Amino acid sequence: MAESQRHPFLHGLSKHRGAPPTVVVIFGASGDLTARKLIPAVYNLGVDNLLPTDFHLVGYGRKEIPDDEFRTLAADAIKEFSRRELDQDVWARIAKNTTYVAGGYDDADAFKRLAKHIDEIEKGVGRDVQVLFYISTPPSVFAPILKNLGGAGLAQKHLDQPHHAKVIIEKPFGHDLASARELNGTIRSVFEEHQVYRIDHYLGKETVQDLLVQRFANAIFEPLWNRNYIESVQITVAEEVGVGSRGGYYEQSGALRDMIQNHTMQLLALTAMEPPVSLHAESIRDEKVKLLKAIQPLRLGPDGDVARAQYADGMLGGKPAQGYLKEEGIAEHSKTETYAALRLSINNWRWQGVPFYLRSGKRMARRVSEIAINFRHPPGTLFAESEKFNLAGNTLAFQIQPDEGLSLILNAKVPGLETRTQPVKMNFRYATTFGSNTPEAYERLVLDAMIGDGTLFIRGDEAETSWKLCTPLLEYWSEAGREGMDSYPAGSWGPPSADALLAKNNHHWRQP
Ligand code: BG6
């Protein structure tokens, strides 16, 4: 492909990242995620020549859809959602091996039919194929699907070989600690942990992976990466979008379950964990779990470590935006938070005393996800006169999205005949250095699962540790009802209670 040759991200990649003959089976094949992310991800891997020669895609869902129609739906999804335009040649190669199986999720016979379909594909290929099951359905049917995969013998397929069956499980992974444990129990009754790939799509984002590289491939950071030099850390995942048509789902979820428990906690773990002994998946996940376990239980109550709020009427992009309670499918007195902020303490040698602030919200001023490391101020002996010396604490900010990159705020002399200072920003931007058209998170994740690399997926104990921290808070909020629920205008940077959370330590939220 001309594109692969040109693009620096792909240089030399296919040589090292070859997957064996694979059948990807998507459960929830007519769903939104399949159209928006999964089919485009498979297609873009095809464009980059990263699909195995014998690659088959099987859609599975309750609706009766003929193969041809499924292929048309898939092509339409590519046209609408792929980062690159539909190339008929590439698509034709994928489409000829794309089929659909209709069946219920709790219908054992349908899973036997699926097993037969996969056997036929394998016969056609003429050698063993690995099967990758992608569970992209509502969580209510995760358990029946898993059990039926076991019942039909599909979970055990080629288990004694390197290219055994694998399963990707979409979020949400449980809705509290008990349900996450139960789900892990169901998974383990059918699959072995090394076959399981729990998705958090934030781990597939380029800049999240860059975090590891920046921290451990540069010698200048490690000596400073601790309580002696770092004053605080702020992790922001802000969205402009509201709940849109997802009100039904969101009412059961809220910002803590939807974003904090998974995406922001993952960012925190990668930012604060100890250096792993190797880049092997288990080494990295071990360190993440250790870090998550060192987080102290949240102090709840009115003066505690948390804030929550719902967006009210406001303005976004020059247009009026309505409040959460007026959105479609939202209860009149909803107690679901669209914004949550936490102050976390990590009780280990490296981080004791350094507050970690996490916030995430919908309908905020701008879509931005970033990790900001705020360093301590220099001693105020030399540049002390505040009218001449405008000094900022140094901040290293990893911009996860959009405009991916890294910036460092330093104090510099303003040019002129006397010494005045001003904070300046040094910038590294992915788009400027490497060009745009970065692969989407799902491309990396689907490819990694096909190859059998679990580094960018969540291990069972990791999911449980994160739920263990969040569940008491969920219970506390659930009991409190709307008491203590703050609000913020749509298009703003969040509620006053979140500012107050930082003010206690004399800190304030950064405006990314
Ligand atoms: C999903 C949440 O996990 O992440 C959504 O369910 C949210 O509510 C989305 O909008 C944000 O993902 P991204 O990649 O757009 O930042």
Tens of pLDDT, residue by residue over 31-65, are 999 999 999 999 999 999 999 999 999 999 999 99
Q: Please provide the DSSP assignment of 452-464 as one string.
A: T--TTSB-HHHHH
Q: 203-503, what's its fold?
A: Dihydrodipicolinate Reductase; domain 2 (3.30.360)
| Paired strand residues for 302 | none
Percent of the chain surpassing pLDDT 90: 87
Amino acid making up residue 17: R
**Confidence class of residue 3 from pLDDT cuts 50, 70 and 90?**
very low
Cα separation of 373 and 436, whole Å? 26
Strands 421-429 and 405-413, bridge-based pairing: antiparallel
Residues of the chain with CATH 3.30.360.10: 203-503
Residues of the chain with CATH 3.40.50.720: 3-170
If you measure from the C-alpha of residue 261 to the centroid of ligand 1, how many angstroms do you get, rounded to a whole number? 13
pTM of the model: 0.94
**Confidence class of residue 5 from pLDDT cuts 50, 70 and 90?**
very low
Sheet holding 166-169, edge to edge: 98-102, 55-61, 22-27, 130-135, 166-169, 196-198
Cβ–Cβ under 8 Å, residues 387 and 368: no
Does residue 402 have a cis bond before it (omega within 30 degrees)? yes
What pLDDT digit, counting tens, does each position of 325-342 carry? 999 999 999 999 999 999
Residue partners of 391: CB distance under 8 A and separation at least 6:
377, 378, 383, 411, 421, 423
Amino acid making up residue 106: D
Residues with CB under 6 A from ligand 1: 171, 239, 258
**Best probe residue, ligand 1, of 240, 257, 258, 324 (max atoms within 8 Å of C-beta):** 258
> Does position 386 have pLDDT exceeding 80, yes or no?
no
Q: Is 263 considered catalytic here?
A: yes
**Nearest one of 93, 162, 94, 166 to 128, comparing CA atoms:** 162
Section 293-308 average pLDDT:
95
Per the model's pLDDT, the better-predicted residue between 14 and 453 turns out to be 453
Active-site residue identified among 263, 333, 377, 507 = 263
C-alpha of 43 from chain center: 21
Q: Which helix (H) or strand (E) holds 112?
A: helix 108-125
What pLDDT digit, counting tens, does each position of 134-171 carry? 999 999 999 999 999 999 999 999 999 888 999 999 99
What distances in angstroms separate CA 366 from CA 179, 241, 362, one per listed residue? 33, 9, 10
What pLDDT digit, counting tens, does each position of 206-259 carry? 889 999 999 999 999 999 999 999 999 999 999 999 998 889 899 999 999 999
Residue partners of 213: CB distance under 8 A and separation at least 6:
none
Q: Which helix (H) or strand (E) holds 198?
A: strand 196-198
**Best probe residue, ligand 1, of 201, 367, 400, 438 (max atoms within 8 Å of C-beta):** 201
Q: 3-170, what's its fold?
A: Rossmann fold (3.40.50)
Q: Six-digit token pair at 264?
A: 């922001």
Using CA of residue 63, residue 67, residue 69, residue 70, what is the dihedral sign?
A: positive
* DSSP reduced 3-state for 255: helix
Cα separation of 235 and 398, whole Å? 10
**Nearest one of 1, 21, 19 to 10, comparing CA atoms:** 1
pLDDT score, position 512 = 84
If you measure from the C-alpha of residue 116 to the centroid of ligand 1, how many angstroms do you get, rounded to a whole number? 36
If you measure from the C-alpha of residue 307 to the centroid of ligand 1, how many angstroms do you get, rounded to a whole number? 20
